[in-house]
A = this chain, B = another copy of it.
């Protein structure tokens, strides 16, 4: 080759992903065949496939018979795969994403039980443990098949049906992670019955978010069903979870699933919410923080001449009707300072170019690239006068 004369070869290819999210009830009861059918549809019989189960301790406390039920279900229904006898039980909640030891326990079990690329990890729990175990699965042997069984409203309608997983590192949320779709998700509505009220409620924030930026009909439906939802009627929650999951999945598959670009239009209400969670040391639930973030962004959307006042009032009324507190005590301390810092950090997170999603109306999103700081402070002042 002559100096400085260069050749090149281009590689370009596409990778296809497919997974089903099942909505069911009593997943491990003997007359529910959905899990059995899933494994039989997956199987190439030549392989010795195994299933390693990881369970959220917090969930297990409410379901003392869960481990026994799973053993019995596999023993009587499933020939195609071999259940690993020992289950891994780990604490759930955000703490599970902070502790590298928990991640290490999952990777170590993958090694100990010889879980290979044809085998499965089945994780049962809330969004945090799904994220953590998903990350362990996705990097072990460059990717073990992941089955998610989300047990909270938030994980059933949002994080658990998506393609991301992660842990926190260096005190930074989701610093390590991958984009790695599961092979299947099983949303069992009966698991939602044992949730605390706070978790039942806070999971609905993502449904409101997705309705606000994507689907006015869904927003109308939530408004009409506030009473059923606050009374914890399961049929109403099943509809809410299904619609929210559907809209979330549509967004992923029709957008930029692995986020190679810079736009992240599912982040409505989230830039301030992330900060609130951190400042409160996660005593505020994600959904509670998102409700506050959405209220703030909706007020800003109104003040900047986009969202109309009657629509703003409907949004704030819905959030309060479902029981969200918009004027959190955290905001009284040094809220405006936190607001400025949150905006700065979010801009850095996006690589220096600010993109925020605001509303032109219910169901009508509007991307903005600059923000009027004094208007934002006014919005904040109006926010803290609520409730």
Chain A 28-87 interface residues, beta-carbon cutoff 8 Å to B:
29, 31-32, 34, 44, 46-49
Cβ of A259 within 8 Å of any chain B Cβ, yes or no, is yes
Which of chain B's residues has its CB closest to A183's CB?
B260
Interface stretch (choices A2-10, A121-129, A302-310, A322-330): A2-10
| Nearest-neighbor residue (CB-CB) of A245 within chain B | B9
* A252 B13 Cβ-Cβ under 8 A: yes
Residues of B within 8 A of A385 (CB): none
Q: In the complex, which residues of chain B have a beta carbon less than 8 angstroms from the beta carbon of A24?
A: 1, 4, 6-7
Residues of the B chain whose Cβ atoms lie less than 8 Å from the Cβ of A234: 1
Which of B3, B143, B174 contacts A25 (CB under 8 A)? B3
Q: Please determine whether A15 and B17 come into contact, CB atoms closer than 8 angstroms.
A: yes
Let me know if A141 and B111 touch, CB within 8 A.
Answer: no
Copies in the complex: 2
Cross-chain contact B259 with A117 (CB below 8 angstroms)? yes
The verdict on A29 contacting B14 (CB below 8 Å), with A21-B9, A142-B179, A175-B140 known, is no
Q: Is A178 an interface residue (CB 8 A)?
A: yes
The reply to whether the CB of A231 lies closer than 8 angstroms to some CB of chain B is: no
Q: Which of A146-184 contact B (CB under 8 A)?
A: 161, 164, 166, 169-170, 172, 174-179, 181
Task: State A385–B174 Cα separation when bound (angstroms).
Answer: 56
Closest-CB distance, A164 to chain B (whole angstroms): 7
Interface segment among A288-296, A347-355, A357-365: the answer is A347-355
- Which residue of B3, B34, B107 contacts A26 across the interface (Cβ within 8 Å)? B3
A282 at interface by CB-CB < 8 Å: no
Assess whether A278 is interfacial by the CB under 8 Å rule: no
- List the 10 closest pairs (A to B, CB-CB), nearest first: A118-B351, A46-B353, A48-B352, A12-B18, A13-B253, A6-B24, A47-B351, A14-B14, A142-B177, A7-B23
12 A-B pairs whose Cβ atoms sit less than 8 Å apart in the complex: A4-B31, A9-B245, A11-B249, A11-B252, A12-B16, A13-B253, A46-B353, A116-B349, A116-B351, A118-B352, A141-B174, A142-B177
Task: Name 4 extra pairs, CB < 8 A, besides A3-B31, A139-B178, A142-B174.
Answer: A1-B23, A1-B24, A3-B26, A139-B176
